A and B are shown apart, each in its own frame.
Chain A
Amino acid sequence: MTTKSALLKTIIPIIMVFFFIRNLVLVETHHMDSWMGGGMRMFAKIDKMIYRVAGFEVNYNNKTYFVNLRNIPELEEEDVAARILPSKNRLNKILYKVKEYDWCYNINTESIQLKKDDDTCQELIKKDAIIKLKVYAINYNNQSNNVDLKQLN
């Protein structure tokens, strides 16, 4: 067998092994969703990006509020990216992007929301009040059948 034919025969298996090893490493080091990244590890772990919650915390009036990115259509891409690979670097970039928007406190719903022109929500949130981006995974206890969220980062 020549070098060329050996290379042609093994190139695709080598690429596949590369993506599998990358998956193993990123899952352990950066909490990557094990179902993603070409690792072929689907239907093994309950935790997957579809069952993850990404959002940011805001300190306002001596209270901490959580804003779920799933409810902010303008940040859909960032939400998906944070849930797939919640690495420190990626979350910092997303937090920076979050701070580029104007956020306000809605007295009626007692929640933080994106400021829009036609909004009744007037109490603006200062940028430094947005403190941290957090990603949670589903946590299922098979003894009590309880389902809750567990912080990943």
Chain B
Amino acid sequence: MKNILRRQLKILKTAKMAHGEENILTLSLQMLLIVLLIFMSDNGYLTIFMPVAIIPGILFKSVRENIYFWVFISFMSCTFYLVRDLDGYVPNHKHVFAYVILMITISLLFKSKTNRLTFIKKQSKYIIGLIFLFALIGKILAPEFLNGSFFQFTNTTDPRFFGFSSLIGHVDFSLLKDNEQNLSMLLNTNNPGENFLLHGPDGIKMFGIIISYWTIFIEGMIAISFCMPSRFLIAKYRNIFLVTFILTTYPIATVTGFAIILTTLGFMQSIVENKFSWYSWFYLMVYILLPLNHFPFTRLLTMF
């Protein structure tokens, strides 16, 4: 009798865990599909076919967990984001979309129901680790990044950083606008011999160097902690590094497409024993609040 009760309890526990796993998998897939619905509209084919496929996927479980559905999404993403990626403008986060879609397709094709979430969790961890490892190597290979001139140039010509630059470097906003206009004129010129003088980079010179080395440090820590197997001590702190990166980067750099897929992957790998961790809640909150990224916080700060 005791044994039967124990067995029943075990079955109940397994069923509860499986139910938790199913809910988390459902939420992860829905989060991903919403990202794809918003951002996969690079050309006529994607603009027409993706909503037609994705909306039923978000709404109905039978579609969402159908392998043919994911094979179709994989085909579309691989064709436009991996095979024809050099024919038109395909930013890096679109490659990440394709990797994540492939990961889901593989998990549905080859993994049993009970192993899917574990597979997705591990793969998400490695995808994040490799993204930051490549980004880190890219920065080390760029001399203008190491001497700070990348941020000097970018923060004084790219309007996404103007609020921050005028706040930190006390650079007149109208001068930054002049830089933007001069750069635009140079890019549209019919005389390649033209040039212009950049306003304001000296004001953020020191800041450019500090931010460069901070970026190298934090991206390096993310790369190491996410690529290392979980048994290593540093791997246990990986979410702290990623959360720090998100908090210090995305309020300033409004790169929503990359931020949202990174947050989705962050959420997928942060699940512990089929339950939300504190980090899962954080990634979920960031995912929901990311549209605020377009709000000019730093520009508002300069007004006070």
Contacts and interface: CB of A to CB of B under 8 A. Distances in A.
A65 B89 contact: no
Contacts of B215: 43
Nearest to B145: A44
Interface stretch (B5-13, B60-68, B148-156, B296-304): B148-156
A21 to B, nearest CB: 10
A114 interface: no
Contact of A39 (B134, B189, B199, B202): B134
A6 interface: no
Given A42-B135, A81-B87, A85-B86, A19 B145 contact: no
Nearest to A27: B141
B127 A37 contact: no
A65 B111 CA distance: 61
A19 B123 CA distance: 17
Secondary structure dominating the interface of A? mixed
Interface residues of A, number: 53
Contact of A19 (B95, B154, B186): B95
Contacts of B194: 148-149
Interface in B161-184: 182-183
Interface of B is mostly: helix
Interface in A16-40: 16-17, 19-20, 32, 34-40
A145 interface: yes
Contacts of B189: 53, 68, 149
Given A12-B123, A39-B92, A39-B138, A68 B188 contact: yes
A151 B192 CA distance: 9
A66 B144 contact: no
A147 interface: yes
A13 B92 contact: no
Interface in A22-78: 32, 34-46, 49, 51, 53, 55, 65-68, 70-71, 77
B95 A38 contact: yes
A12 B126 contact: yes
A76 to B, nearest CB: 10
A147 B197 CA distance: 6
A15 to B, nearest CB: 7
Contacts of B90: 36, 38
* Residue of B85, B92, B202 with most partner-chain A CB within 10 A: B92
Given A32-B86, A37-B85, A15 B192 contact: no
A13 B87 CA distance: 24
B198 A140 contact: yes
B43 to A, nearest CB: 11
B103 A12 contact: yes
Nearest to A83: B89
Contact of A84 (B86, B92, B154): B86
A91 to B, nearest CB: 14
Nearest to B202: A145
A80 B88 contact: yes
B187 interface: yes
B273 to A, nearest CB: 21
A80 B186 CA distance: 17
Interface of A: 4, 8-9, 11-13, 15-17, 19-20, 32, 34-46, 49, 51, 53, 55, 65-68, 70-71, 77, 80-81, 84-85, 111, 134, 136, 138, 140, 142, 144-149, 151
Interface of B: 82, 85-92, 95, 99, 102-103, 106, 110-111, 119, 122-123, 126-127, 130-132, 134-135, 137-139, 141-142, 144-145, 147-150, 152-154, 182-183, 186-199, 201-202, 215, 253, 258
Which 6 pairs show the lowest CB-CB distances between chains A and B?
A: A41-B138, A38-B95, A148-B195, A40-B134, A142-B149, A44-B142
9 contacts: A16-B134, A34-B138, A43-B253, A51-B183, A65-B190, A66-B191, A84-B88, A149-B189, A149-B193
